Amino acid sequence: MNRAEAQQRILDLSNQINYYNQRYYQDSVSEISDFAFDQLLHELIALETQFPELKADDSPSQRVGGTITKTFETVTHKYPMLSLGNTYSQEELIDFDTRIQKGLDGDSYEYISELKFDGVAISLTYDNRKLVRAVTRGDGTRGDNITANAKTIRSIPLKLPDNAYAGEFEVRGEVFMPRSVFDQINKEKEDIGEAPLANPRNAASGTLKMQDSSIVAQRKLDCYLYSFLCDEKLANTHEEALHLLEQWGFQVSPTYRKCADIQAVMQYISEWETKRLELPLDTDGIVIKINQYQQQEELGFTAKSPRWAISYKYKAQSASTRLNGITYQVGRTGAITPVAELAPVLLAGTTVKRASLHNANEIARLDLRIGDHVWVEKGGEIIPKVTGVDLSQRQADSQSFVFTKNCPVCGRELIRYDDEAVHYCPNHYHCAPQVRGRVIHFVSRRAMNIDSLGEETINTFFNEGFIRNISDIYSLEANSSQLIGVEIDSKEYTHTHNLFLSLTLPKTLFGILHPCKPKDKTTLKNITDHIIQPEDLKSAKEFIDFDFNQLKNSSSSIIDRLTSFQAFLTLFADTCEIQNEDDIPISITISFILNLSRIETETLLETSKGKRNIYHLLSELKNRDLSLYDKIQDALASNTAIKESIQKLKNTTLQKKSIEAIIGGIEASKQQSFDKVLFGLGIRHIGETSAKILAYHFKNIDNLINADWQTLEEVDGIGEIMAKSIQYYFNDDENIHIINELKRHNLKLEIDNASSSDLLESTKLSGLKILTSGTLQNFTREQFISVVEKNGGEYLKSVSKKLSFIVAGEDMGPTKRQKAIKDGIKIITESDFLKLLEN
């Protein structure tokens, strides 16, 4: 095919693929099979590979991804993505309707009601009928540019038809992972022994921020569009705008409805309360909007949200289930959080097994007892919580729950500070969850911003001894050669009752059968699915007893491989007591792959007791039996098939590129300002604002270390509790050692001229906790928060007795005003606030 022929064929294929996409997503019609569709796409990709100069930015081949994005550019939204006010009651909806009537001076109006989808908000910009940019919501003002990933979502048009508007405009919607896709991904993960994804929304959010767009394409995300924004007026109502989007090939959920009045809205809410659970995706409420754009403009906005729209949240669904036990989590500050372990119960579309109980006081308030049947709700349909006990089902011999006196991890006796409900473990430097938690806090975006160091990687480095405190992060570069091949810790691994490190049968077969992988498109997973399909083949013992000759559809090489492994496993059945186990010891699997002797296998078995993963096992073997360790390493180095088979058993391993990314992120963090480092240290009671105040006041870490209690307490914004906490931290020799190590690695432990201007303008508001309500004349909400923080104050997000005062703007919320008056909180005007800043 010459260039001209290829150009025409590429055009024809693109038009066909776009047509079939439009028929599927807009008309719900599948004119061709998935296989036929994929064949067209593969032909297009092949031609574009052969003639790369003919590949267009809006080619359907963008759907398969392949772009690697190391960092996501921050983009300022042309039109801010504001949040909506929420309500859970129909009475408040009536109040909203009353405000609409008043705001429109009695003019007639109508609503549009739409389902509120539980996904990730996205903004799509089109120009000249082509998708030019896709941005996440971010903080509403700025978001991340995820264009490469958005192009893989097939329901998002890359190119619009000729009848679409050719100028620049913006479309907004919700990216989601369909429940069917979510369930399928989790099934596949479970089949090969990987940990399942948590929920569809988090899965969609995490997928959109993946660096490799080809992986994003495999996740099959979807998108509903619901908003149109343009400088040119192309529609008079929201309903007309939705019709335009539908005509231009955007996927709009057909569930929206125009409602003549608030009573029709109520009917819509009632209709969808249970019907929404039948949809292919999760929802978390209803959005109600004024239909006419002119009336939307008349009603306007508060600093935070539009006055012409509101979100109605369905009341949390509740369910009754058995409390099987109470376990404990240890946080980075040593705080102990009790967790309810529940009999699995279906709640708002997901299975709930655990719920936070907050502290010992909450357990006492509910009078929880093991074996109780408790009521569980999902706050906002997301976070499960125990709300009460069904006393009618309480057992007569039940005992009151006694909160633990000792740390569940390190065993140290717990302490409880005056006026606090939380128990703490005081073993700060040797209690593993605390150490790991402080490191995770230190690398977080708000502190040192080391994105390349994730929580699982930190846990691995801690377990393998590379990190013992936050300063050890900066020694990783010196140990980088030792990091290659390190296996990221995973919940895939199990231990038998006699502590042998083990893997599930499917995961084991995945590694065993790798050399038998066929050359055609049949995947290894297809084979293992077929093998473990029989109902009587679920455990190690059943594997030993199984007759593999009945697998008529499997090749002789596969059956021979399985039979050989079966015989090898039988040799160790008594030693491992396999008849009592579901999973298979990793040592036996590795020995089979490597063709080790019985004595070598028994050595490997004994070494595997209590180990976390294969990397940990082989590291320990180096100390126990160097000759066997060297034999295994030689086999891995010289035989690709053996190396690949064992790699199939492992979780993710660190390789050169990922290690370089980690080291690069660590090096870049050395440019973070003094206040960021100070916040990252994790000093109890010292947040971002107080870290800025301290950095601005003391200029460097040594001045802060040497400050006495009286000097600390005299700093505006630093009270008695903070002063004691700072002194306690710096009186500890271990902390001083960490500070000295951070100095040695050239972190910024003093402010310079460049960073001091970003810290504070003054301390005029130090120690003050401030909130605003209503529309301000001189500030947007974001500007007001910035002014408060730049002058040393702290902005709170809700009415609290901790507030120093509330700045009341126009149309201050009546609920906030009433609560403030009830709690005796001072209310001042915007003019009063400006005078306070001047003085």
pLDDT in tens, 282-322: 887 899 999 999 999 999 887 678 899 999 988 767 788 99
**Residue 753 scores a pLDDT above 70:** no
What is the sign of the dihedral through the CA atoms of 235, 238, 239 and 243?
A: positive
Angle CA(633)–CA(637)–CA(642) in degrees, nearest 5? 85
Residue 631 labelled as part of a binding site: no
3-state secondary structure of 389: strand
- Mean pLDDT, rounded, for 629-651: 88
Distance CA 34, CA 220 (A): 13
Instruction: For the beta carbon of residue 392, count every other beta carbon within 10 angstroms.
Output: 6
**Residue 379 scores a pLDDT above 60:** no
pLDDT at 484: 81
Strand order in the sheet with 826-829: 794-795, 769-773, 805-808, 826-829
DSSP, res 706: H
Beta-carbon contacts of residue 449 (< 8 Å; ≥ 6 apart): 443, 669, 672, 676
Residue 212 labelled as part of a binding site: no
- Mean pLDDT, rounded, for 151-174: 92
Beta-carbon contacts of residue 623 (< 8 Å; ≥ 6 apart): none
Q: Percent of the chain, pLDDT > 90?
A: 36
Confidence of residue 490 (pLDDT cuts 50, 70, 90): low
**Residue 164 scores a pLDDT above 90:** yes
The residues with which 159 forms a beta bridge, in sequence order, are 130
Given a contact cutoff of 8 angstroms between Cβ atoms, the answer to whether 751 and 666 are in contact is no
Beta-carbon contacts of residue 461 (< 8 Å; ≥ 6 apart): 467, 476, 486
What is the sign of the dihedral through the CA atoms of 197, 202, 204 and 206?
A: negative
Q: What are phi and psi of 753, to 5 degrees?
A: -60, -35
Confidence of residue 517 (pLDDT cuts 50, 70, 90): low
Look at 35 and 152; give whichever has higher pLDDT.
Answer: 152
Distance CA 765, CA 602 (A): 69
Confidence of residue 727 (pLDDT cuts 50, 70, 90): very high
Distance CA 466, CA 475 (A): 8
pLDDT at 522: 43
**Residue 58 scores a pLDDT above 70:** yes
pLDDT single digits (tens) 784-793: 887 888 887 8
pLDDT at 554: 66
User: What token pair was written down for 507?
Assistant: 């995961």
pLDDT at 349: 60
Given a contact cutoff of 8 angstroms between Cβ atoms, the answer to whether 453 and 443 are in contact is yes
Distance CA 604, CA 276 (A): 54
Residue 142 labelled as part of a binding site: no
Distance CA 358, CA 340 (A): 10
**Residue pointed to by tokens 């502290």:** 359
pLDDT at 612: 82
Distance CA 204, CA 182 (A): 9
Residue 410 labelled as part of a binding site: yes
pLDDT at 780: 73
- Enumerate the active-site residues: 116
Confidence of residue 615 (pLDDT cuts 50, 70, 90): confident
625, exposed or middle or buried, with CB in 10 Å at 0-12, 13-18, 19+?
Answer: middle
Confidence of residue 494 (pLDDT cuts 50, 70, 90): confident
> Which of these ranges, 194-198, 313-317, 464-468, 490-494, has the smallest mean pLDDT?
194-198
Angle CA(291)–CA(295)–CA(301) in degrees, nearest 5? 100
**Residue 710 scores a pLDDT above 90:** no
**Residue pointed to by tokens 């995300």:** 221
Q: How many CA atoms lie within 13 A of 683 on its CB side?
A: 30
Distance CA 155, CA 136 (A): 17
Look at 444 and 192; give whichever has higher pLDDT.
Answer: 444
Distance CA 745, CA 739 (A): 10
> Which H helix or E strand runs over 299?
helix 293-299
Q: Percent of the chain, pLDDT > 70?
A: 91
The residues with which 40 forms a beta bridge, in sequence order, are none
**Residue 147 scores a pLDDT above 50:** yes
pLDDT at 533: 52
Distance CA 39, CA 82 (A): 43
**Residue 34 scores a pLDDT above 80:** no
pLDDT at 817: 83
**Residue 203 scores a pLDDT above 90:** no
3-state secondary structure of 7: helix
Angle CA(695)–CA(696)–CA(697) in degrees, nearest 5? 95
Most confident of 654-658, 660-664, 763-767, 801-805: 660-664
The residues with which 126 forms a beta bridge, in sequence order, are 131, 169
Distance CA 474, CA 448 (A): 12
Distance CA 467, CA 436 (A): 9
Residue 176 labelled as part of a binding site: no
Residue 289 labelled as part of a binding site: yes
Return the closest-CA partner of residue 222 out of 256, 179, 160, 166: 179
Look at 272 and 536; give whichever has higher pLDDT.
Answer: 272
Return the closest-CA partner of residue 336 out of 401, 458, 400, 431: 431
Residue 431 labelled as part of a binding site: yes
- Mean pLDDT, rounded, for 35-58: 81
Given a contact cutoff of 8 angstroms between Cβ atoms, the answer to whether 308 and 295 are in contact is yes
Instruction: For the beta carbon of residue 51, count every other beta carbon within 10 angstroms.
Output: 17
Residue 626 labelled as part of a binding site: no
Residue 35 labelled as part of a binding site: yes
Distance CA 310, CA 91 (A): 13
User: What token pair was written down for 602?
Assistant: 């028994």
Residue 230 labelled as part of a binding site: no
pLDDT at 689: 75
**Residue 518 scores a pLDDT above 60:** no
pLDDT single digits (tens) 539-553: 777 788 888 777 666
**Residue 631 scores a pLDDT above 90:** yes
pLDDT single digits (tens) 332-378: 888 898 999 998 887 766 678 888 788 888 899 999 999 999 998 86
Confidence of residue 35 (pLDDT cuts 50, 70, 90): low
Look at 302 and 468; give whichever has higher pLDDT.
Answer: 468
Given a contact cutoff of 8 angstroms between Cβ atoms, the answer to whether 443 and 458 are in contact is yes
Residue 174 labelled as part of a binding site: yes
pLDDT at 613: 83
Distance CA 752, CA 582 (A): 61
pLDDT at 380: 44
Given a contact cutoff of 8 angstroms between Cβ atoms, the answer to whether 214 and 201 are in contact is no
Residue 407 labelled as part of a binding site: yes
User: What token pair was written down for 568?
Assistant: 């090898």
Residue 560 labelled as part of a binding site: no
**Residue pointed to by tokens 């206040």:** 675
- Mean pLDDT, rounded, for 417-429: 84
- Mean pLDDT, rounded, for 799-813: 84
- Mean pLDDT, rounded, for 38-64: 81
Paired sense of beta strands 120-127 and 130-136, if any: antiparallel
Question: What domains, with CATH codes, occur in the chain?
Answer: 3-64 (1.10.287.610), 75-312 (3.30.470.30), 318-424 (2.40.50.140), 432-487+655-668 (1.10.150.20), 494-649 (no CATH), 672-758 (1.10.150.20), 769-838 (3.40.50.10190)
**Residue 520 scores a pLDDT above 60:** no
Mean pLDDT of the chain: 85
Through-space distance between the first and last CA atoms of the chain, rounded to whole angstroms = 79
Spell out where 277-391 has E strands: 283-290, 309-312, 318-330, 335-347, 350-356, 373-379, 383-389
Give the length of the chain: 839
> Which H helix or E strand runs over 772?
strand 769-773
pLDDT at 470: 94
Spell out where 35-129 has E strands: 74-76, 86-87, 111-117, 120-127
User: What token pair was written down for 620?
Assistant: 């320990």
**Residue 763 scores a pLDDT above 80:** no
Return the closest-CA partner of residue 348 out of 287, 276, 288, 286: 276
Helices (H), 760-805: 781-790
Distance CA 4, CA 10 (A): 10
Distance CA 583, CA 520 (A): 30
pLDDT at 747: 95
3-state secondary structure of 383: strand
> Which H helix or E strand runs over 265?
helix 262-275
pLDDT at 193: 43
Instruction: For the beta carbon of residue 814, count every other beta carbon within 10 angstroms.
Output: 10
pLDDT at 313: 85
Q: Which amino acid is at 639?
A: N
Helices (H), 124-175: 147-150
Residue 114 labelled as part of a binding site: yes
